[in-house]
Chains A and B, each alone.
Chain A
Amino acid sequence: MRLPEQTVTQPAGTQTLTGTSYYAPAMGIFFMFFAIGYGARGFFLERTGGTLERLAAAPSGPGAILAGKSLATFVYGVASLGTVAIVTSLAFAAHWGPPLVVLALIGALSLTMVGLTALVITVARTERQADGFASLLTFGLVLLGGNFVFIGGAPPLVRTLALLTPNGWALRAFTDLAGGAAWTAAAAPLMAILAFAAVIGAVAFSLRGRVADL
């Protein structure tokens, strides 16, 4: 006997999100964030070695020194996550999305990392402190942002909290793209990451005077 209501299974037009497509960007971002510590520690090592004093003698302000040290992390970030994207796409069939959009997201995230590195340099007083702050930032961000666990399986509150981090937004964009969304799905996350970069960079810039005091 036929019932008056039945379910009918329909394709939603989405791609199944594979473990590789999720964890490739998640872990790529995680390891990319280690550069915050490398960059910040490098600054203090140069100070210990006397290189910074020599740089200060040149006609460049503390802002230029800070920007120069922090920008190195930008190159590292792009190279690091870019390599992960290429290798996991080719070797493990991870789906990252359209290359230009992926590049824009990686660039935006690397800019945020520049700001975070500058922030650690301005806040810390010693190499040890820089190491501590960078570790706290890195692990705090990846824990909250969903890099350690599959955030889609987390309770709604945890998913909302993830959007308080730039890596959480990046992961959302990569997840949407891997799930078959159009490139436009990355627009809002891209704006959010750039906003994070601008705010963090502005805070670090406002504290640049602390670098001169070092």
Chain B
Amino acid sequence: MTALALAAAELRRVTRDRTFLFFLVVLPILVILLVGLTTASSTNIRVAVVPGQPTPLATQLVHDLEASPELKTQRFTTRTQGVAALRRGEVEAVVVVPMTLDADLRTGATTRIPVLVSGAVQSSQAAVTAVSSIVAGQGATVQAAKFATTHSTRSFQQNLAMTRSLQRETPVVPVRTQVVNSESNFLPLGYNYSAPTMLVLFVFINALAGGAAIIQTRRFGIFARALAAPVRARDLVLGETLCYLTLALGQALLIVVVGAVMFGVSWGNPLAAAALIGMWALVGTGAGMVSGTLFRTPEQATAIGPAVGIAFGMLGGCMWPLEIVPQSVRLLGHATPHAWAVDAWVTVLSRGGGLVDIAGYLAILAGYAVALFAFASFRLRRSLVTP
């Protein structure tokens, strides 16, 4: 009971800190929103279109490109603007519709439509293929219309309209892709990526920054005074632990609820997700307790803690999937508990894993938690009364 009372008192004190509340509540949601928005919009092939002259065939080609479900197009007035967007990675290719497109096609000349790509052509291959397919579609239409024009009295324009009309009516042979192995090593893009990774990142960062409050409590001499009362050192340590565990669980729960309600995030198997969140809260609390005993001043904890937390998050795959980094970096990343937590989320969210499937990851995380708590308890009991 003493430990609970101490935890409640510490919780009240900590939650009065507005900066802490900003990191606890506002920042994770903002980052989830931003990362989710960014990764969600990169699922389409992004292409810049420089429309050229507003002639019928050029306009039709631009319309076809913009209507393609595979492409996300952005119009630019000049080629230079399109190239600037390519350079900044805003688009993967730039389609420059020639000024003479209509005239060339009507006179029977072959028209080449430049698709500008960055240094490595391979990285734009999907964009080039998608654009080529749409251009070929228009090419076939024009060719059919020209053929009809040479064998009938109707004008090219009339035949073009008729060809389009016939194309719409002619049944197409659909080509369907079927995913036979849906297991993925990545988290799904969009909010389903940002919410679980930011949960891992921010629960840990806030726990580390929370160590500042422990140092402050110690420096104020609150621990020393509490020990003068009939309170055991064990209860003090337990009280502090319960306080930060509650905060970590509260923040995780907030991210889960906001993720599900505001961003439509699916958290997978509830039992596995709950176990993972609980275990991660324990790891974070352990890290926070270590921070509270390792640093000498609250300033050190608030300044160094978040920086360390962010660096661990980057190494552990919270900012980008570890699948895209070199093997050595991936190995180094797995020295942090973050990488194991993200791997567990991949199993739960991308492979439909349950509690049994992530048991190994949970055991590793439990190992981290035990080691951190053991170290923190040892240090805290010794340093409770050290100013």
Q: Does A4 contact B (CB under 8 A)?
A: yes
- Contact string against B for A residues 13-56, beta-carbon threshold 8 Å, 1 for contact and 0 otherwise: 11111010010000100110010011001000100000000000
Chain A, residue nearest B43 (CB): A153
Question: Which residues in B have their C-beta under 8 angstroms from that of A3?
Answer: 136, 139-140, 143
- Contact string against B for A residues 143-156, beta-carbon threshold 8 Å, 1 for contact and 0 otherwise: 10000111111111
Could you say which of A107-115, A129-137, A198-206 contacts chain B?
A: A129-137
Question: Which residues in A have their C-beta under 8 angstroms from that of B132?
Answer: 6-7
Question: Which residues in A have their C-beta under 8 angstroms from that of B146?
Answer: 4
Taking a contact as CB atoms under 8 Å apart, the answer to whether B88 and A136 are in contact is no
Chain B, residue nearest A155 (CB): B41
User: Do A155 and B118 contact each other (CB < 8 Å), given the known contacts A5-B142, A38-B303?
Assistant: no
Q: Does A91 contact B (CB under 8 A)?
A: no
Across chains A and B, the number of contacting residue pairs, with CB separation under 8 Å, is: 165
Q: How distant is the Cα of A13 from the Cα of B80 in the complex, in angstroms?
A: 11
Chain A, residue nearest B101 (CB): A5
Q: Does B31 contact A (CB under 8 A)?
A: yes
Taking a contact as CB atoms under 8 Å apart, the answer to whether B117 and A143 are in contact is no
Taking a contact as CB atoms under 8 Å apart, the answer to whether B86 and A14 are in contact is yes
Taking a contact as CB atoms under 8 Å apart, the answer to whether A149 and B35 are in contact is yes
Q: Does B327 contact A (CB under 8 A)?
A: no
Q: Does A9 contact B (CB under 8 A)?
A: yes
User: Do A6 and B113 contact each other (CB < 8 Å), given the known contacts A16-B118, A132-B19, A159-B90?
Assistant: yes
Q: Does B45 contact A (CB under 8 A)?
A: no
Q: Does B114 contact A (CB under 8 A)?
A: yes
Taking a contact as CB atoms under 8 Å apart, the answer to whether A17 and B116 are in contact is no
Q: Does B275 contact A (CB under 8 A)?
A: no
Question: Which residues in B have their C-beta under 8 angstroms from that of A10?
Answer: 114-117
Interface size for A (C-beta < 8 A) is: 51
- Interface range, B side: 35 or more
Q: How distant is the Cα of A2 from the Cα of B87 in the complex, in angstroms?
A: 33
Q: How distant is the Cα of A13 from the Cα of B117 in the complex, in angstroms?
A: 8
Interface residues of B in 98-125 (CB under 8 A from A): 101, 104-105, 108-121, 123-124
Q: Does A76 contact B (CB under 8 A)?
A: no
Interface residues of B in 281-295 (CB under 8 A from A): none
Taking a contact as CB atoms under 8 Å apart, the answer to whether A16 and B120 are in contact is yes
Could you say which of A57-65, A67-75, A96-104, A176-184 contacts chain B?
A: A176-184
Q: How distant is the Cα of A132 from the Cα of B20 in the complex, in angstroms?
A: 8
Taking a contact as CB atoms under 8 Å apart, the answer to whether A8 and B90 are in contact is no
User: Do A148 and B119 contact each other (CB < 8 Å), given the known contacts A8-B114, A19-B324?
Assistant: no
Nearest-CB distance from B71 to chain A (Å)? 13
Nearest-CB distance from B274 to chain A (Å)? 28
Question: Which residues in A have their C-beta under 8 angstroms from that of B23?
Answer: 135
**Neighbour of A176 across the interface among B37, B87, B104, CB < 8 A:** B87
Nearest-CB distance from B147 to chain A (Å)? 11
Q: Does A90 contact B (CB under 8 A)?
A: no
Identify the 7 closest CB pairs spanning chains A and B, nearest first: A152-B89, A179-B87, A3-B139, A132-B19, A12-B116, A153-B42, A5-B139
Q: Which residues from chain B sit less than 8 Å from chain A, CB to CB?
A: 17-19, 22-23, 27, 30-31, 34-35, 37-39, 41-42, 46, 74, 83-84, 86-90, 94-95, 101, 104-105, 108-121, 123-124, 128, 131-132, 135-136, 138-140, 142-143, 146, 299, 302-303, 307, 310, 314, 319-320, 324
26 interchain pairs, CB-CB under 8 A: A4-B108, A4-B139, A5-B139, A6-B132, A7-B131, A8-B112, A8-B114, A10-B114, A11-B118, A11-B119, A12-B117, A14-B86, A19-B324, A31-B307, A128-B17, A139-B27, A150-B38, A152-B88, A152-B90, A153-B90, A159-B90, A172-B88, A175-B89, A176-B84, A179-B87, A179-B89
Q: Which residues from chain A sit less than 8 Å from chain B, CB to CB?
A: 1-17, 19, 22, 27, 30-31, 34, 37-38, 41, 45, 128, 131-132, 135-136, 139, 143, 148-156, 158-159, 172, 175-176, 179-181
